């Protein structure tokens, strides 16, 4: 046995990573902010550990602490970090550098900004290989090409000489993963590696992570806000709250039976695609916000928000202790043996009345929107983005219609067309019996107050220089619904109360609110004019899961109280299934399938619907992973638009299948409806 | 790429001609009469002399016809004859330009080799003493008036310490090298005349520093800001996570991205140096375009002013074109 063999064999005995009482603080002017406060866990060779928590819980800071990549003013002030038995905190910078990118690698969240735009992919991939002296340049080049191929990038020999901007987001994340595996690390830390990606691409990347773990025996620490994502890769999970691990256990057990109230709230805040829909659609949401890291409560940090707290919780800080074999929780209540309830049935008023089968409020026929692009040069051919290519939809009064599909499928364009922010290229839009597709701006103006929009980004959609009182008063005054002065003030106060905000906050500015509060303000703004139709474009995708649950509950309440009709655009299928009466699936600007939500998810007729549902990360479920990405929208699709990626495509698919009603209320544009039902989920 | 280049060059030519039109109109609406400036009070009081003089220089023709004559000459590569020097304007410019080109280029290179490393150091060691020194240097550079700085430099290093030579391109007793390019540094090397080369270099030092001062300040600040922005990007953290050396990360990952705004500024700054050395050249008796411009303007020497305008605008347009082309080198996203 040679010396190097012995070195390779040794880590088998020692855990790859041991974290003991890690403490990381941000030294701010206001005092030290304890971002990571006594975190401990161990990752054995080849193990997978997930870290879950909301924004600000300290999960990313933990990851950076592990890599010793913290930047000022963050500093590790206590604890122990051992990597393969070696003390990371005692290492010199050059020793750390030798480990990073070699034995321990990290993949970051945003693949769009993680690659250097002015350097070819090849050099970005090979620099850790040659930089750590493991490969000569020609070897590194061969290995880079091999790794890219392994990550599922087509024609890797050609792709390596490209620049990052020539790759899509999913492709870039594959490159980032290849970079992480450049030197066959013993540990890979992945910080939200799929958050910026579509659900189909996310499924591809998660599959890849699992395979790499199995194949190379690389230990993986996966950080995510999504328990489903963690569940599909990691055997164990650590739930973080306010800088502490509050529960650590096998992932499946946490999902089934969480033993910390915060984990319980996380699990129940998210609708599950694999569980039957109850009559009560309200989700569990916990009130309040995480504690101020400068003034942490003396007892349990979750106590102020905890629905199960007992007197002791506010007084004494609970330790992370065993509550069952292999399960740790930081909770006095469960440590005393109490069981948390199965689900959070908050007992709100039950099922909604079925929408009346009246005339549709909104009706869309043959809707087309093409955006011409500027010519690249005078002689270049004219290019056109075919965003929407013939959509038919009906939306009944009081109904919620969900629109789903990958990015670029035309969801947002559709939202902007039905509210006539864009003018359609062709087709008709009827709103309450009135044709608005080609109506003049003056004719549409009175209709504006009857249809309102809520946008995705609550940070960008509120004017930072207006108080929220002014923001809410503006539409009221513009449409003459209230006179300036006392009347407007009264309405604004009512609106804030309606969306669950304190009416006394009218003179605050948007930056004084959290993301969830801002989205409430956006909803209040949409409601100011007492609209009939609310078009919500990804209203919750920028929010933490608990806040998502709050906003969804709010939308449900408002619908019940005000009889609102929703056009709800989202990429999260579980949420759509949970909230919507009907769902339309879009692909390349066309409707692939439209059906009642429950039926569509139980038994999809269109193969695209089936693979979309299958891509949702649900632990322990076999998946059909859709390969590739949607084709360019610069080319108008011929035949069935999905046939290039369809698992059951046949020659007949070159003629476009019509969107036909195959069963009562179930429409699908497929020659073989229902044939590919692999991923059907029991209702 | 070639087509882009041709289109851009054609566009630049049109812009240059338009610039002459603007200057032609402005110069002719300025109150002041070249007759008085050239002939002196006595001769100007004689109407016959004045009329004859006007006819000789074509000043009696209508405005549009004079501009047309200028354009016709331009098409033949003729910029007309200077009223003041009585020589073809093109010859005048060819005589004065090399001195300016030499001075501005040296000043520009000086600004680059000082400003960029200073900016990098200031960004890498942000809020340290290096950053403080860089801030002071750029503040002095940007805020001291050129004429003041020029006098102070001359007074201290020539008058007081006597370690720098006086004004002019060479010592009065030195012979200029045989003219090949008109650039003394190049010509002396070509002639192998190292003594004159050394003399020319030492005469360049003070005016180059004075001329470069403001540009050093600007380039330092821009480089620092661009570096700080690039250092904050995710790919820098990725590079560190890959275990790359810090120096490598700064030079190979940060700098190429930070250079893009610096190139934009650098191009403009170089064009500015070429066109705007009036103050420095006057104080250092530098026989360049700046002094020629000043003299021509004072004498209302229309043909010379038009010629200089054309040269300056063509310089700006060419430098801008070079800047745009260098984007394609620096940033693959601009390449087609």
Closest by Cβ to A98, choosing from B237, B239, B243: B243
Contact (CB<8Å) A131/B243:
yes
pLDDT tens track for A117-129? 999 999 999 999 9
Answer whether A249's CB lies under 8 Å from A238's CB. Answer: no
Q: Is the pLDDT of residue A6 over 90?
A: no
Q: Please give the residue that has the higher pLDDT: either A319 or A346.
A: A319
Chain A nearest CA to B331, separation (Å): 6
A379: confidence class by pLDDT, cuts 50, 70, 90: low
Q: What is the pLDDT of residue A344?
A: 47
A40: confidence class by pLDDT, cuts 50, 70, 90: very high
ipTM of the complex: 0.80
Q: Are strands A187-191 and A104-107 parallel, antiparallel or unpaired?
A: parallel
Task: Please tell me the number of Cα atoms within 13 Å of A505 on its side-chain side.
Answer: 19
Angle at A512 between CA A509 and CA A515, to 5 degrees: 110
Q: Please give the residue that has the higher pLDDT: either B174 or B316.
A: B316
CB proximity under 8 Å: A 140-199 to B: 163, 165, 176, 179, 182
Rounded Cα–Cα distance for residues A423 and A439 (Å): 9
The tokens for A595 are 């059906």
Rg of chain B on CA atoms, in Å: 24
Q: What is the pLDDT of residue A452?
A: 92
Lowest mean pLDDT among A377-386, A419-428, B8-17, B279-288: A377-386
Q: Which of A61, A108, A114 to mutate against chain B (most B CBs within 10 Å)?
A: A114
Chain B nearest CA to A216, separation (Å): 19
SS3 for A460?
coil
Chain A nearest CA to B297, separation (Å): 42
Rounded Cα–Cα distance for residues A206 and A50 (Å): 13
Q: Is the pLDDT of residue A677 over 70?
A: no
First to last CA, chain A: 58
A101 has a chain B CB within 8 A of its CB:
yes
Q: Identify which of B74, B53, B54, B50 has the alpha carbon closest to the alpha carbon of residue B62.
A: B54
Question: CA A90 → CA A78, A97, A188, distances in Å?
Answer: 12, 13, 21
Q: Identify which of A236, A271, A273 has the alpha carbon closest to the alpha carbon of residue A252.
A: A236
Contact (CB<8Å) A108/B241:
yes
The tokens for B308 are 């200089």
- Buried-state track A150-173, b at ≥16 Cβ within 10 A, e below 16: bbbbeebeebbeebbeebbbbbbb
- Kindly identify which residue of chain A lies nearest to residue B327, measuring between CA atoms: A118
Lowest mean pLDDT among A113-117, A326-330, A620-624: A620-624
Listed in order, strand segments (DSSP E) in chain B are none
Q: What is the pLDDT of residue B335?
A: 66
Give contacts of B242 with chain A, Cβ < 8 Å. 100-101, 105, 127-128, 131, 179, 182
SS3 for A507?
coil
Beta bridge partners of A42: A18
A517: confidence class by pLDDT, cuts 50, 70, 90: confident
Give contacts of A128 with chain B, Cβ < 8 Å. 242-244
Per-residue pLDDT, averaged over B104-127, amounts to 93
Q: Identify which of B134, B92, B135, B74 has the alpha carbon closest to the alpha carbon of residue B289.
A: B92
Q: Give the residue carrying structure tokens 């070079």.
A: B322
Closest by Cβ to A118, choosing from B238, B240, B330: B330
pLDDT tens track for B266-283? 988 888 888 767 788 888
A118 has a chain B CB within 8 A of its CB:
yes
pLDDT tens track for A45-75? 999 999 998 888 889 899 999 999 998 889 9
- Spatial neighbors of A431 by CB under 8 A, at least 6 apart, are A361, A362, A418, A447, A450, A451, A533
Contact (CB<8Å) B241/A376:
no
Q: What is the pLDDT of residue A682?
A: 36
Question: pLDDT > 90: what percent of chain B?
Answer: 22
Across chain B, mean pLDDT equals 84
Alpha helices in A156-223 (DSSP H): 156-159, 169-180, 199-216
Contact (CB<8Å) B234/A118:
no
Q: What is the pLDDT of residue A9?
A: 44
Across chain A, mean pLDDT equals 86
Q: Please give the residue that has the higher pLDDT: either A533 or A483.
A: A533
A63 has a chain B CB within 8 A of its CB:
no
Rounded Cα–Cα distance for residues B182 and B194 (Å): 16
Give contacts of A117 with chain B, Cβ < 8 Å. 235, 257, 331-333
Q: Is the pLDDT of residue B58 over 80?
A: no
Q: Identify which of A361, A410, A629 has the alpha carbon closest to the alpha carbon of residue A537.
A: A410
CATH superfamily of A362-535: P-loop containing nucleotide triphosphate hydrolases (3.40.50.300)
Give contacts of A97 with chain B, Cβ < 8 Å. 243-245
Rounded Cα–Cα distance for residues A37 and A42 (Å): 16
A105: confidence class by pLDDT, cuts 50, 70, 90: very high
Q: Which pTM value belongs to this model?
A: 0.82
The tokens for B165 are 């030579």
Give contacts of A179 with chain B, Cβ < 8 Å. 238, 242
Rounded Cα–Cα distance for residues A247 and A306 (Å): 15
Q: What is the pLDDT of residue A343?
A: 64
Q: Is the pLDDT of residue A339 over 50?
A: yes
Domains of chain B: 2-75 (no CATH), 97-335 (1.10.3720.10)
Lowest mean pLDDT among A214-218, A255-259, A352-356, B262-266: A352-356
Answer whether A351's CB lies under 8 Å from A359's CB. Answer: no
Beta bridge partners of A48: A220
The tokens for A76 are 């590790």
Q: Please give the residue that has the higher pLDDT: either A591 or B59.
A: A591
Contact (CB<8Å) B242/A97:
no
Q: What phi and psi values does residue A496 have, to the nearest 5 degrees?
A: -60, -40
A421 has a chain B CB within 8 A of its CB:
no
Contacts 24+ apart (CB under 8 A), A659-663: A659/A392, A659/A590, A659/A591, A659/A594, A662/A605
Rounded Cα–Cα distance for residues B86 and B90 (Å): 12
Q: What is the pLDDT of residue B219?
A: 94
Beta bridge partners of A37: A23
Per-residue pLDDT, averaged over B204-227, amounts to 91
Per-residue pLDDT, averaged over A503-515, amounts to 86
Closest by Cβ to B242, choosing from A113, A119, A179: A179
Per-residue pLDDT, averaged over B21-42, amounts to 73
pLDDT tens track for A77-104? 999 999 999 999 999 999 999 999 999 9
The tokens for A362 are 């909104």
CATH superfamily of A14-234: P-loop containing nucleotide triphosphate hydrolases (3.40.50.300)
- Spatial neighbors of A574 by CB under 8 A, at least 6 apart, are A270, A271, A272, A273, A616
Contact (CB<8Å) A108/B248:
no
Rounded Cα–Cα distance for residues B94 and B182 (Å): 9
Chain B nearest CA to A606, separation (Å): 39
Contact (CB<8Å) A115/B235:
yes
Please count the other Cβ atoms lying within 10 Å of the Cβ belonging to residue A477.
14
The tokens for B311 are 């040269």
* Per-domain residue ranges of chain A: 14-234, 261-335, 362-535
Chain B nearest CA to A626, separation (Å): 29
Per-residue pLDDT, averaged over A137-159, amounts to 89
Per-residue pLDDT, averaged over A561-579, amounts to 89
Contact (CB<8Å) B257/A116:
yes
Give contacts of B336 with chain A, Cβ < 8 Å. 376
Chain B nearest CA to A101, separation (Å): 4
Q: Is the pLDDT of residue B55 over 90?
A: no
Give contacts of B240 with chain A, Cβ < 8 Å. 69, 100
Answer whether B54's CB lies under 8 Å from B65's CB. Answer: no
pLDDT tens track for A438-467? 888 888 888 888 999 998 888 888 898 999
Task: Please tell me the number of Cα atoms within 13 Å of B116 on its side-chain side.
Answer: 18
A131 has a chain B CB within 8 A of its CB:
yes
Per-residue pLDDT, averaged over A502-507, amounts to 87
Contact (CB<8Å) B336/A100:
no
Q: Identify which of A419, A429, A247 has the alpha carbon closest to the alpha carbon of residue A320.
A: A247
Per-residue pLDDT, averaged over A377-399, amounts to 84
Q: Is the pLDDT of residue A359 over 70?
A: yes
pLDDT tens track for A254-304? 988 999 999 998 888 888 887 777 767 788 888 777 888 788 888 999 998
- Kindly identify which residue of chain A lies nearest to residue B255, measuring between CA atoms: A118
Q: Identify which of A560, A566, A599 has the alpha carbon closest to the alpha carbon of residue A580.
A: A566
Q: Is the pLDDT of residue B36 over 70?
A: no
A479 has a chain B CB within 8 A of its CB:
no
Rounded Cα–Cα distance for residues A272 and A445 (Å): 40
Q: Are strands A74-83 and A86-87 parallel, antiparallel or unpaired?
A: antiparallel
Contact (CB<8Å) B240/A69:
yes
- Kindly identify which residue of chain B lies nearest to residue A115, measuring between CA atoms: B235
Answer whether A106's CB lies under 8 Å from A176's CB. Answer: no
A544: confidence class by pLDDT, cuts 50, 70, 90: confident
Closest by Cβ to B234, choosing from A98, A110, A376: A110
Contact (CB<8Å) B244/A127:
yes
- CA B257 from chain centre, in angstroms, equals 26
Q: What is the pLDDT of residue A7?
A: 42
Per-residue pLDDT, averaged over A345-367, amounts to 64
Answer whether A611's CB lies under 8 Å from A646's CB. Answer: no
Q: Identify which of A500, A501, A567 has the alpha carbon closest to the alpha carbon of residue A531.
A: A567
- Spatial neighbors of B97 by CB under 8 A, at least 6 apart, are B182, B288, B289, B311
The tokens for B114 are 């000082």
User: HEC profile for A98-158?
Assistant: HHECCCEEEECCCHHHHCCCCCCHHHHHHHHHHHCCCCCHHHHHHHHHHHHHHCCCCCHHH
Chain A nearest CA to B18, separation (Å): 23
Give contacts of A98 with chain B, Cβ < 8 Å. 243
Q: Is the pLDDT of residue B175 over 60?
A: yes
Q: Identify which of A324, A191, A347, A167 has the alpha carbon closest to the alpha carbon of residue A260.
A: A324
Q: Is the pLDDT of residue A171 over 70?
A: yes
């Amino acid at each position: 046995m040679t010396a190097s063999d012995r070195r390779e064999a040794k880590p088998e005995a020692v855990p790859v990573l041991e974290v003991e009482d890690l403490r990381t603080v941000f030294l701010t002017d206001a005092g030290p902010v304890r971002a990571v406060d006594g975190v401990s866990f161990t990752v054995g060779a080849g193990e997978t550990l997930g870290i879950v928590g909301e924004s600000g819980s300290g999960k990313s800071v933990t990851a950076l602490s592990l890599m010793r990549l913290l930047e000022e003013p963050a500093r590790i002030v206590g604890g122990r970090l051992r990597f393969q038995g070696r003390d990371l905190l005692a290492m010199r910078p050059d020793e750390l550098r030798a480990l990073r990118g070699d034995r321990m690698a990290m993949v970051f969240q945003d693949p769009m900004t993680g690659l250097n735009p002015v350097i070819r992919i090849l050099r970005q991939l090979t620099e850790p290989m040659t930089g750590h002296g493991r490969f000569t340049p020609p070897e590194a080049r061969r290995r880079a090409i091999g790794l890219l191929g392994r990550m599922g990038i087509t024609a890797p020999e050609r792709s390596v000489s490209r620049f990052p901007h020539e790759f899509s987001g999913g492709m870039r994340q594959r490159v980032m993963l290849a970079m992480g595996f450049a030197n066959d690390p013993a540990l890979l830390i992945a910080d939200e590696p799929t958050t910026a990606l579509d659900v189909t691409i996310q499924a591809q990347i998660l599959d890849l992570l699992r395979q790499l773990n199995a194949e190379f025996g690389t230990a993986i620490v996966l950080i995510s806000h999504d328990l489903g994502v963690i569940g599909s890769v990691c055997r164990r999970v650590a739930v973080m709250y306010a800088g502490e691990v509050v529960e650590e256990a096998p992932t499946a057990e946490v999902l089934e039976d969480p033993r910390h109230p915060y984990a319980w709230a996380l699990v129940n805040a998210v609708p599950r695609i694999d569980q039957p829909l109850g009559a009560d659609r309200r989700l569990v949401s916990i009130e309040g916000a995480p504690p101020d890291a400068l003034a942490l409560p003396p007892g349990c940090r979750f106590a102020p928000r905890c629905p199960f707290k007992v007197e002791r919780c506010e007084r004494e800080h609970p330790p992370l202790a065993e509550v069952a074999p292999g399960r740790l929780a930081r909770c006095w209540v469960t440590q005393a043996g109490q069981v948390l309830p199965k689900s959070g049935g908050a007992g709100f008023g039950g099922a909604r009345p079925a929408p009346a089968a009246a005339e549709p409020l909104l009706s869309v026929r043959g809707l087309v929107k093409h955006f011409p692009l500027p010519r690249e040069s005078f002689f270049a051919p004219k290019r056109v983005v075919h965003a929407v290519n013939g959509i038919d939809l009906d939306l009944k009064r009081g109904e919620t219609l969900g629109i789903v599909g990958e990015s670029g499928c035309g969801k947002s364009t559709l939202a902007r067309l039905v509210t006539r922010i864009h003018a359609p290229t062709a087709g008709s839009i009827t709103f309450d019996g009135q044709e608005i597709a080609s109506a003049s701006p003056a004719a549409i103006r009175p209709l504006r107050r009857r249809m309102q929009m809520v946008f995705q980004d609550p940070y960008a959609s509120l004017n930072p220089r207006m108080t929220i009182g002014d923001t809410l008063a503006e539409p009221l005054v513009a449409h003459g619904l209230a006179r300036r002065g006392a009347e407007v003030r009264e309405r604004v106060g009512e609106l804030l109360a309606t969306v669950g905000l304190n009416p006394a906050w009218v003179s605050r500015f948007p930056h004084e609110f959290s993301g969830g509060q801002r989205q409430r303000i956006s909803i209040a703004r949409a409601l100011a004019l007492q609209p009939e139709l609310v078009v919500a474009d990804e209203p919750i995708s920028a929010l933490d899961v608990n806040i998502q649950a709050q906003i969804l509950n709010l939308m449900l309440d408002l619908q019940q109280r005000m009889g609102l009709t929703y056009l709800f655009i989202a990429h999260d299928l579980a949420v759509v299934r949970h909230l919507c009466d009907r769902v339309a699936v879009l692909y390349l600007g066309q409707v692939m399938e439209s059906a009642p939500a429950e039926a569509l998810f139980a038994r999809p007729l269109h193969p695209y619907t089936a693979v979309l549902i299958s891509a949702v990360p649900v632990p322990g479920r076999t998946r059909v992973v859709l390969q590739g990405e949607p084709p360019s929208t610069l080319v108008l699709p011929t035949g069935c638009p999905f046939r290039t990626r369809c698992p059951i495509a046949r020659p007949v698919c070159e003629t476009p299948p019509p969107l036909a009603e195959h069963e009562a209320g179930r429409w699908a544009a497929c020659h073989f409806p229902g044939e590919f039902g692999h991923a059907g989920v029991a209702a | 790429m070639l087509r882009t280049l041709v289109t851009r060059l054609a566009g630049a030519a049109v812009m240059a001609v338009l610039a002459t039109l603007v200057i032609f109109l402005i110069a002719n609406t300025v109150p002041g009469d070249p007759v008085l400036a050239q002939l002196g009070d006595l001769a100007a009081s004689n109407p016959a002399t004045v009329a004859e003089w006007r006819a000789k220089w074509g000043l009696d023709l209508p405005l549009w016809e004079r501009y047309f004559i200028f354009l016709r000459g331009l098409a033949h590569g003729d910029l007309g004859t200077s009223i003041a020097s009585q020589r073809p304007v093109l010859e005048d410019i060819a005589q004065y330009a090399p001195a300016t080109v030499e001075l501005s280029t040296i000043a520009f290179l000086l600004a680059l080799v000082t400003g960029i490393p200073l900016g990098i150091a200031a960004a890498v060691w942000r809020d340290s003493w290096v950053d403080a020194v860089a801030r002071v240097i750029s503040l002095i550079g940007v805020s001291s008036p050129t004429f003041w700085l020029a006098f102070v430099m001359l007074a201290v290093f020539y008058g007081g310490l006597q370690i720098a030579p006086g004004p002019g391109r060479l010592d009065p007793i030195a012979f200029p090298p045989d003219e090949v390019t008109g650039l003394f540094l190049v010509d002396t090397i070509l002639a192998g005349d190292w003594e004159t080369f050394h003399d020319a270099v030492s005469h360049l030092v003070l005016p180059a520093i004075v001329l470069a001062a403001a540009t050093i300040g600007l380039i330092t600040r821009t480089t620092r800001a661009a570096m700080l922005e690039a250092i904050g990007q995710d790919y820098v953290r990725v590079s560190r996570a890959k275990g790359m050396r810090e120096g490598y990360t700064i030079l190979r990952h940060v700098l190429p991205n930070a250079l893009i705004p610096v190139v934009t500024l650098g191009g403009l700054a170089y064009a500015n140096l070429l066109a705007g050395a009036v103050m420095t050249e006057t104080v250092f008796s530098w026989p360049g375009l700046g002094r020629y411009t000043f003299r021509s303007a004072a004498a209302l020497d229309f043909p010379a002013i038009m010629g200089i305008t054309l040269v300056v605008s063509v310089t700006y347009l060419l430098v801008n074109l070079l800047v745009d082309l260098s984007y394609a080198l620096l940033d693959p996203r601009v390449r087609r």
